């Protein structure tokens, strides 16, 4: 049975500590002409790594080469005293080309956490970390609606939990690449700040579960502790996943349904013809929904499996403007 892929950043003894490497030069970004803050925005790509992935020893999931869950402490931030408005994740080789399952590597997951700050949903005694951003191999790009941004202060300390896999029978060396768009200076403080939110169908420390053969839906609920406007939600499922839905049970509003696509481009098809999730279109709006303290939100992850799957996930992440 696969080892549970725990994302708990607080269990540092169970993971290895690594650093960051290549940082690309910031460049100006014109952005959307309808966004009054676009002219003041910049982009910067940071590559975290490099990491060498062991070769696969066979063709089953258990035989894939993997780093396992590891923790990188004090990773590079794109800016300080700024507002991040977009993040584009990728997994790349040293020459900048995409690294995906057609050549072996897979971004199983990467989660950035801010140490010393409590998480909106998983309080964990108020110690955090606040989960700032995450991505799986679907690599959903995030662009917040115009006028919103995620604040980064000078004293914020970021760490990353990552798990990378390799379908190929040769070692591969890769970087996790994140392209950040952000606003600095007076224009930054005119943006409405947003708080990251993470909802999943299992729990705070171990978001994995097993699904049997057939059509299965797993749900979980969270009672909101804040009033606010949800402006962005995206979903993360594993092989066999179909949809993940967020519903406000108090008001009856279906806030967001993410339907995944598998094998949508050749990069997401491995050398045996197996398809992995290639896209998971997010829900974006200003706002998508307004929630109040005490509202009960339900997340439902649907899987349709032709064989049992272990250690799958059903996660929704996004941002809310608290008020």
Window from 20-29, 95-104, 125-134, 287-296 with minimum mean pLDDT: 20-29
% of residues, the chain, pLDDT over 90: 80
Per the document, the length of the chain is 323
- Kindly state whether residues 42 and 186 are assigned to the same domain: yes
pLDDT bracket for residue 115 (50, 70, 90)? confident
**Alpha-carbon span 127 to 311, nearest angstrom:** 26
Last residue of one domain, picked from the residues 138, 158, 192? 192
Domain assignment present for 4: no
pLDDT at 25: 32
DSSP reduced 3-state for 262? strand
**Alpha-carbon span 279 to 146, nearest angstrom:** 23
Task: Identify the CATH number of the domain in which residue 110 sits.
Answer: 2.60.120
What is the per-residue DSSP string for 230-251?
EEEEEEEE-TTEEEEEEEETTT
User: Is the pLDDT score of 30 beyond 80?
Assistant: no
- Kindly state whether residues 182 and 237 are assigned to the same domain: no
% of residues, the chain, pLDDT over 70: 87
pLDDT at 205: 77
- Kindly state whether residues 313 and 259 are assigned to the same domain: yes
pLDDT bracket for residue 10 (50, 70, 90)? very low
pLDDT bracket for residue 36 (50, 70, 90)? low
Count of other CB atoms within 10 angstroms of residue 99: 25
Window from 174-178, 258-262, 268-272 with minimum mean pLDDT: 268-272
pLDDT at 206: 85
Burial class (CB in 10 A: 0-12, 13-18, 19+), 95: exposed
- Kindly state whether residues 143 and 270 are assigned to the same domain: no
- Kindly state whether residues 300 and 312 are assigned to the same domain: yes
Token pair listed for 251: 């008001």
- Kindly state whether residues 175 and 253 are assigned to the same domain: no
Last residue of one domain, picked from the residues 192, 225, 246? 192
Phi, psi of 93 (to 5 degrees): -85, 175
Domain assignment present for 1: no
User: Is the pLDDT score of 7 beyond 50?
Assistant: no
Domain assignment present for 3: no
pLDDT at 13: 31
- Kindly state whether residues 201 and 267 are assigned to the same domain: yes
Residue-number span of the structural domain to which 229 is assigned: 194-323
pLDDT at 35: 61
Instruction: Report, as an integer, the average pLDDT of 213-225.
Output: 97
Task: Identify the CATH number of the domain in which residue 253 sits.
Answer: 2.60.120.230
Comparing CA positions, the residue from 258, 291, 295 lying closest to residue 277 is 258
What is the per-residue DSSP string for 47-100?
EEEEEEEPPPSSSSGGGSEE--SEEEEEEPPS-SSEEEEEEEEEEE-TTS-B--
**Residue range 57-102, pLDDT digits in tens:** 988 777 889 999 999 999 999 999 999 999 999 999 999 999 999 9
Domain assignment present for 159: yes
Q: Are 304 and 218 in contact (CB under 8 A)?
A: no
Domain assignment present for 2: no
pLDDT at 126: 64
pLDDT at 39: 63
- Kindly state whether residues 36 and 130 are assigned to the same domain: yes
- Kindly state whether residues 83 and 53 are assigned to the same domain: yes
Comparing CA positions, the residue from 165, 45, 162 lying closest to residue 99 is 165
User: What is the residue-averaged pLDDT of the chain?
Assistant: 89
Question: Per the structure, how many domains does the chain have?
Answer: 2
Q: State the DSSP H helix or E strand holding residue 188, giving kind and residue range, or none if neither.
A: none
pLDDT at 26: 38
pLDDT at 316: 98
Q: Are 271 and 102 in contact (CB under 8 A)?
A: yes
> Distance of CA 308 to CAs 140, 239, 246, Å?
26, 11, 25
Last residue of one domain, picked from the residues 192, 209, 230? 192
**Global pTM?**
0.89
**Residue range 116-140, pLDDT digits in tens:** 889 999 987 667 789 999 999 999 9
- Kindly state whether residues 187 and 228 are assigned to the same domain: no
Domain assignment present for 5: no
Instruction: Report, as an integer, the average pLDDT of 217-244.
Output: 97
Token pair listed for 162: 């990552």
- Kindly state whether residues 141 and 185 are assigned to the same domain: yes
| Residues 6 or more apart in contact with residue 174 via CB below 8 angstroms | 49, 50, 51, 53, 91, 92, 93, 99, 105, 164
Domain assignment present for 147: yes
- Kindly state whether residues 211 and 254 are assigned to the same domain: yes
């Amino acid at each position: 049975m696969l080892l549970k892929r725990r994302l708990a950043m607080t269990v540092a003894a169970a993971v290895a500590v690594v650093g960051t490497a290549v940082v690309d030069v910031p460049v100006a970004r014109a952005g959307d002409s309808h966004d009054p803050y676009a002219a003041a925005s910049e982009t910067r790509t940071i590559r975290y790594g490099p990491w060498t992935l062991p070769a696969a020893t066979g063709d089953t999931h258990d035989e894939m080469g993997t780093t396992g869950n590891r923790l990188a402490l004090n990773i590079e931030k794109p800016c300080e005293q700024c507002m991040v408005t977009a993040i584009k994740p990728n997994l790349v080789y040293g020459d900048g080309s995409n690294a995906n399952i057609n050549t072996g590597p897979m971004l199983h997951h990467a989660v950035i956490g801010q140490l010393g700050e409590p998480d909106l949903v998983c309080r964990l005694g108020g110690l955090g970390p606040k989960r700032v951003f995450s991505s799986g191999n679907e690599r959903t790009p995030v662009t917040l609606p115009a006028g919103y941004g995620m604040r980064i202060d000078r004293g914020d300390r970021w760490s990353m939990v990552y798990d990378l896999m390799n379908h190929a029978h040769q070692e591969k060396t890769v970087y996790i690449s994140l392209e950040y768009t952000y606003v600095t200076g007076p224009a930054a403080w005119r943006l409405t700040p947003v708080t990251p939110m993470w909802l999943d169908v299992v729990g705070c420390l171990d978001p994995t579960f097993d699904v049997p053969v057939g059509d299965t839906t797993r749900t979980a609920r969270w009672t909101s502790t804040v009033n606010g406007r949800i402006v962005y939600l995206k979903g993360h499922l594993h092989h066999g996943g179909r949809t993940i839905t967020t519903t406000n049970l108090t008001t009856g509003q279906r806030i967001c349904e993410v339907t995944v696509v598998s094998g949508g481009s050749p990069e997401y098809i491995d050398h045996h013809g197996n398809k992995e999730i290639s896209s998971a279109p997010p829900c974006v709006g200003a706002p998508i929904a307004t929630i109040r303290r005490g509202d009960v939100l339900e997340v439902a992850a649907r899987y349709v499996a032709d064989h049992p799957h272990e250690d799958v996930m059903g996660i929704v992440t996004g941002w809310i403007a608290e008020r």
